[in-house]
Structure 1
Amino acid sequence: MRLPLNVGFDLDMTLIDTRPGFAATLDALGGELGITFASASMIERLGPPLDLVLADYLDAARIPAAIDRFRELYVDHSIIPVPALSGAHEALAAVRGHGGRIVLVTGKFAPNAQRHVDHLTFDIDHLEGEVWGVGKAAALSRHGVGIYVGDHIHDVEGARAAEVLSVSVLTGGCSAEELRDAGTDVVLNDLTEFPDWFARHVETLG
């Protein structure tokens, strides 16, 4: 059963600014592989799984090992430098303040996602990792999520596939027009606007 106050959040570029850590990890990986990644442009619209990100640079047979090494390098290059985005803690607190549960549903490798949660002391109930696009729907449904908050059109796809309310923030590179065209229900500039929106939403539920 979907509960209106069970709220799912994406992680990268929704709750955290992954760009500096992701770029540093890509550069470290490239140094080991002898490849110069266009990291500055690759971090402009984070969201797709790592195998798709690396597909323009590596033969398919080399990608699994590169992903494993990226995840290892990520621990040293990406956890401490990556900050919470403005309003992230307050958005989570707003859900808690109304008695809601919080489920983190992300495409990121789950152990590294958990490292961000621990480092930034995010107050969540459950984490689901390595799910992307419509694949997020199963996790949202399994946890009875009624609202999913993300930054990417693929987050909207996951919300739509799960038939839950889609809330989008403009912190990840997708435009308001792109997100609306994908079918999102609500567009916020960033998570600083979420507590007021959520309070109004709760009021409509009676």
Structure 2
Amino acid sequence: MAPMATHPLTIGFDLDMTLIDSRPGIHAAYRALAAETGVRIDADLAITRLGPPLEEELAHWFPDERIQEMGDRYREIYPAYAIEPTLALPGAREAVAAVQELGGRAIVVTAKHEPNAKLHLAHLGIAPDEVIGWLWAEAKAEALREHGASVYVGDHTGDVRGAHTAEALSVAVPTGPCDAAELRAAGADVIIDDLTAFPAWLRAYSADLA
């Protein structure tokens, strides 16, 4: 059984393609890495499968013995190429604020390198209460449990699995690589078109808890 939240309400959010459209920035970072290394990386393809850890994508382009080195280098150059072009997805700021306006805590739990995740959020003026990086799919449950999150909002089937591993409600948005049918088949409890619909859903959800 999930631990009781220490706050009235704690909601977790994924980052890439849930709160932010990082495709332009990630595309630029992959192109820079390709130019630096001389290794072909299809950045157009890579940005269609965001969600899993970076190393899974790098494995398509580099031999095993170079993946750690290339991951480190990618994360090093990332701020110079990826922060400025990245956009907030519609409703992202309002979704986080909606949790806080109800007296709750909004946390971001992402597979992304945590310092780079924080750079994105600061640049875009999205202000969660906590940011936890380096966690993907079922591993996200570690942070969700630790912070007592009752809901996790994400765009990927891995986010659905993370929510359910933490015994949290899975709220899914088909704004990333997984469409509504995939998210539903993965077991998402709630599907909303995008985060512009989240504040109204949250008000109804919190009223039911009262």
Q: Give the TM-score normalised by the residue count of structure 1.
A: 0.97
Counterparts of 1:25 and 1:204, CA distance in 2: 44
Say whether residues 1:66 and 2:70 are aligned partners. yes
Where does residue 38 of structure 2 map in the other structure?
34
Q: How does 1:186-201 map to 2 (within 5 A)?
A: 186-201=190-205
- Asked whether 1:93 is paired with 2:97, we answer yes
In 2: Cα distance, 1:11 partner to 1:39 partner = 19
Aligned to 2:25: 21
* SS in structure 2 of the partner of residue 144 of structure 1: coil
Deviation of 1:82 (Å): 0.4
Structure 1 moving runs of 4+ over 4 Å: none
Match of 1:45, SS state, is coil
Q: Separation in 2 of the partners of 1:41 and 1:61?
A: 23
The secondary structure found in structure 2 opposite 1:145 is coil
SS in 2 for 1:7: strand
Distance 1:8 1:200 in 2: 17
Tell me, in whole angstroms, the C-alpha distance in 1 between the residues paired with 2:179 and 2:127.
28
| Structure 1 residue corresponding to 2:169, chosen from 151, 165, 179 | 165
The amino acid that maps onto 2:205 is: H
Gaps of 5+ in 2: none
- What's the C-alpha RMSD, in Å, of the aligned pairs? 1.0
Q: Which residue of 2 aligns with 1:152?
A: 156
Gaps spanning 5+ residues in structure 1: where?
Answer: none
| Alignment partner of 1:53 is 2:63 | no
Matching residue of 1:141: 145
1:126 to 130, 134, 141: 130
Deviations 1:73-132 (A, max 9, x none): 111001111011000011011111111101110000001011112111212111110100
TM-score by length of 2: 0.95
State the distance in 1 between where 2:76 and 2:165 align. 32
